[in-house]
Structure 1
Amino acid sequence: MDIEEYSDIVMDHFMCPRNMGVINNSNGEGTNGDPDCGDYLTIYIKVENNIIDDISFLVFGCPASVATSSMTTELSKKKTLEEALKITEDHIINALGGLPENKKHCSNLGVSALRNAIEDYYKRKV
């Protein structure tokens, strides 16, 4: 995989990821790992009044995994839980200006971890 195959947006999110880190007072946490490439992602959310008020992530993986994780948080922040649940792999790929075919599976990492974090929030709320 040559670095030249990534869009400028992917490179920007890889080199300067948004919302990276842990939210210590999160009220939802979701993980996902992709056995095909060994990547692993944890997303933390802080929900207030049904809105993702804050979101962060920690990821172990390739440049595409870092970029898709970063973009997932950007697309989710300040959205209602229902809006965030509608985010798809295609939304992430399109927002990044595309991904090489062999890296498109990385977008699933963010979507699944986000959905797992929202599910965790609902479980904690009960």
Structure 2
Amino acid sequence: MTYSNEVMDHFMNPRNVGEIEDASGVGTVGNAKCGDIMKVYLKIEDGVVKDAKFKTFGCGAAIATSSMATELVKEKTIQDALSITNKTVMEALHGLPAVKVHCSCLAEEALHAALWDYAQKNDIVIEGLNPPKEDVHDDDHDLYESHVK
């Protein structure tokens, strides 16, 4: 299994590790199959993500995708933050091995879960935002959709 230089850099030198005490939104997601757990903290002011931090228990790819996702979301509007997908994270990292794609899905879902928490705390609706998943897999989108309906 080969990792890009970007993945290795974000694993060896992760950005934004930690927590935000007065976070506007906090999202925690996990993957029962691999045991990875991601927690993302967002500080949102005037509709813009001013800060993002994470705590991840997982493999190197999980740490790298958490690091990259928090970098990508900073200074984005809520709607732009919502548009950050697992594909966005993987492209920014110059790819992931197929068996590690679920890590980028976790990063996307953790960001979205933190946005969901923010929306709930502020009694607002963020257009296009779905409730967070309890367990994230890269191959269960159809199962998830049928469960939510």
Q: Which residue of 2 aligns with 1:21?
A: 18
Q: Distance in 2 between matches of 1:36 and 1:6?
A: 21
CA distance in 1: counterparts of 2:101 and 2:110, whole angstroms: 16
Match of 2:101 among 104, 108, 113: 104
Over 4 Å off, 4+ runs: none
2:76 counterpart of 1:85: no
Secondary structure of 2:84's aligned partner: coil
Question: 5+ unaligned residues in a row in structure 2: which ranges?
Answer: 124-149
CA distance in 2, matches of 1:52, 1:96: 21
Letter in 2 for 1:85: L
Q: Which has the higher strand share?
A: 1
- CA distance, structure 2, for counterparts of residue 124 and residue 69 of structure 1: 23
**1:37 and 2:30 matched:** no
What is the TM-score with the length of structure 2 in the denominator?
0.81
Any residues of structure 2 matched to 1:6-17 within 5 Å, and which?
Answer: 6-17=3-14
Alignment RMSD: 0.7
| Alpha-carbon distance in structure 2 between the residues aligned to 1:78 and 1:18 | 15
| 1:119 is the counterpart of 2:116 | yes
Kindly provide the CA deviation profile for residues 31-72 of structure 1, in whole angstroms up to 9, marking residues without a partner as x.
110112100000000000000001100000000000000000
Counterparts of 2:40 and 2:53 in 1: how far apart (Å)?
A: 6
Q: 1:125 offset after TM fit, Å? A: 1.0
> Which whole-Å CA distance do the structure 1 matches of 2:105 and 2:40 have between them?
13
Count of aligned positions: 123
Bigger RCO (CA 8 Å, 6+ sep): 1
Q: 2:60 aligns with which of 52, 60, 63?
A: 63
Task: Give the Cα–Cα distance (whole angstroms) in 1 for the partners of residues 68 and 35 of structure 2.
Answer: 20
Q: Which structure is larger by alpha-carbon Rg, 1 or 2?
A: 2
| Consecutive unaligned residues in structure 1, runs of 5 or more | none
Aligned equivalent of 1:75: 72
